[in-house]
Structure 1
Amino acid sequence: MAIHDNILIKIREMKDSLTPVEKLVAEYILNNLEEIPHLSIKSLAQLSKTSDASVLRFCKTMGYSGYRSFIVSISASLGSMDDEQKDQYTDIQPGDDLSVIISNISRNNVKSIEDTLSVIDRKEVERAVKAIRGSDRIAFFGIGASGLVCMDAEQKFSRINKMCHAYTDGHSQLTAATLLSKGDVAFFVSNSGDTAEILDALDIAKKNGARTIALSKYNRSPLAQQSDIVLSISTPEVTFRSGAMGSRIAMLTVIDTLFAGVASAEYQKVKKYLTKTHNILSGKHRK
């Protein structure tokens, strides 16, 4: 199991959205893991061709008050690396045996969930649950594989009588965002966080006073920077072969968590809805 705050995963996920100087520090660390715990701030600055101040700024960007606490965290993450090595993401290879595919896909999905556990902010999850509980209605926005996550969210929250709907194409998203108002929650799902249609809908939702929640890859994307609440996931690099499999499973896990958080907090109220919907569905199956 991945530890709950694996700094190496955070660095890997954040790398592409860092400033050019911070990126130099990140790349040196990721390419020279074993030696990092033994380096002074001055040594790391020289080796990464940056400055002491840049290294310190990088540590702060990663959520640490200083260099020492950052290095302690790196050492702890390295301690779990032996297990991690056996768990690297595996892409689809031509001619793979089915038993290998079953094993690889299962391991990739498990790893996406475990790595998401390392980057998701518990306080933001708590804020998202609170926002959903206090909302008049929820509009879920997502395109492609992210749209499927929105449909799953709609199906779940509808079962506990939350007014919600999934909008999965550009035109319906703009229309829905235009009709939102204060008291509503606009929930945006996008792995990259820079999908044009999603950002257009976000802009409109914000102008109308809706509370905005983003579910996205752990980075400094426009979606993450402009949303009120940010739920981060960690996924492998997306390739043309594996597509959005890893991100989808991580996102569905976050949706499950939010649903469970809301249902648990309002259990006495939602119990009757869960029972009613379960009974009507199981009755249909018997016919």
Structure 2
Amino acid sequence: MAINDNILIKIREMKDNLTPVERMVAEYILANTEEIPHLSIKSLAQLSKTSDASVLRFCKTMGYSGYRNFIVSISAALGSIDEEQKDVYTDIQPGDDLFTIISNISHNNIKSIEDTLSVIDRNEVARAVKVLRSSNRIVFFGIGASGLICMDGEQKFSRINKMSHAYTDGHSQLTAATLLGKGDVAIFVSNSGDTVEILDTLEIAKKNNVSTIAITRYSKSELADKADILLGITTPEITMRSGAMGSRIAMLTIIDILFAGVASAEYKNVKKYLTKTHNILASKHRGRK
């Protein structure tokens, strides 16, 4: 169950992976959200040019036992959207003044985290923390901007004396995956979930029977399907001008959650490591003044 379930975000993320008929229902709902709570199943079927059975199948695909429960969730999702249209992401526009840029980028990052909290599965987070706590070694795999997320994960877990390493290019990833063994945990970071190098590395890791965790978009992808544990994010990369801004901040938040989950559960043991690493860095800082 998601931490703060927002069905509209789920529909947006899953739309392209639905059957053609279910996609018709999804597209009508996303284009006419305000009227949906007032429609009967028959009315929604007629307006979306589908059938009662198709609408019901769509509801079940979204994780609901019936139409009534689905409508309640739609109403709740609409209630979370205020008059300022806080659900809207804003792309970078040529000639934006600095005040606008500060406001829009900050808003987009906040929204990326809020939307990710709407789809992330609390049980999957708990499973991930459990395997990380019992791991011999944590290995992060990511290409490009996702590699930066991996480096952040390596830095954080190393601070609590967890053997960690980030691999950010295809060749080193294949080599590292080949050497994984029992007790190791492999974390794969990819916004699309379809990065070829990541999927090749995942295949090798699974052959070595290690636990695999995916940090990727909350939608159907090969990485999402094949990893043992899925930690889904959601944030539209609006155009090429935005780069990977939204997905990066959402993925970094997932890394922070995993790190805090492990550190909190093992606080008595890791406190000494956190203290040592803090003190050595502080002493270096004081020495340079």
152-161 vs 16-25, greater mean Cα deviation: 16-25
CA RMSD after TM alignment: 1.3
1:112 counterpart residue number: 112
Q: How far apart are 1:274 and its partner, in Å?
A: 0.4
Deviation at 1:9, TM superposition (A): 1.1
TM-score by length of 1: 0.96
2:25–2:55 contact (8 Å) kept in structure 1: yes
Which letter maps to 1:25?
A: V
CA separation in 2, counterparts of 1:141 and 1:18? Answer: 29
Does residue 82 of the first structure (1) align with residue 82 of the second (2)? yes
Between the aligned partners of 1:190 and 1:83, the Cα distance in structure 2 is: 34
Q: In the alignment, is the contact (CA less than 8 A) between 2:14 and 2:219 conserved in 1?
A: yes
Does the 8 A contact of 2:142 with 2:188 survive in 1? yes
Deviation (angstroms), 1:24: 1.2
Aligned counterpart, 1:46: 46
> Can you give the 5+ residue segments of structure 1 that lack an aligned partner in the other structure?
none
1:93 is matched with 93
Q: Secondary structure at the match of 1:165?
A: strand
Q: 1:1-287 counterparts in 2 under 5 A?
A: 4-83=4-83, 85-287=85-287
* Residues in 2 aligned to 1:238 and 1:161: alpha-carbon distance in whole angstroms: 38
Deviation at 1:18, TM superposition (A): 1.9
1:159-194: CA deviations, max 9, x gaps?
001111001011011111111122111100000111
User: Offset of 1:84 from its aligned partner?
Assistant: 6.0
Normalised TM-score (structure 2): 0.95
Q: Which string of whole-angstrom CA distances, capped at 9 and with x for unpartnered residues, describes residues 230-287 of structure 1?
A: 0011112341100100000011011001100000000000001001111111111122
- Please say if residues 9 and 118 of structure 1, whose CA atoms lie closer than 8 Å, have aligned partners that are also in contact: yes
Q: Which runs of 4+ in 1 moved over 3 A?
A: none
Cα gap change, 1:135 to 1:84, in 2 (>3 Å): farther
Distance (Å, rounded) in 1 between the aligned partners of 2:43 and 2:84? 27
Work out whether residues 205 and 212 of structure 1, in 8 Å CA contact, stay in contact via their aligned partners in 2. yes
Identity level (%) = 81
Residue 9 of structure 2 aligns to a residue in which SS?
helix
SS of equivalent to 2:82 = helix
Q: Distance in 2 between matches of 1:221 and 1:145?
A: 19
Report the alpha carbon displacement of residue 34 of structure 1 after superposing the two structures with TM. 1.7
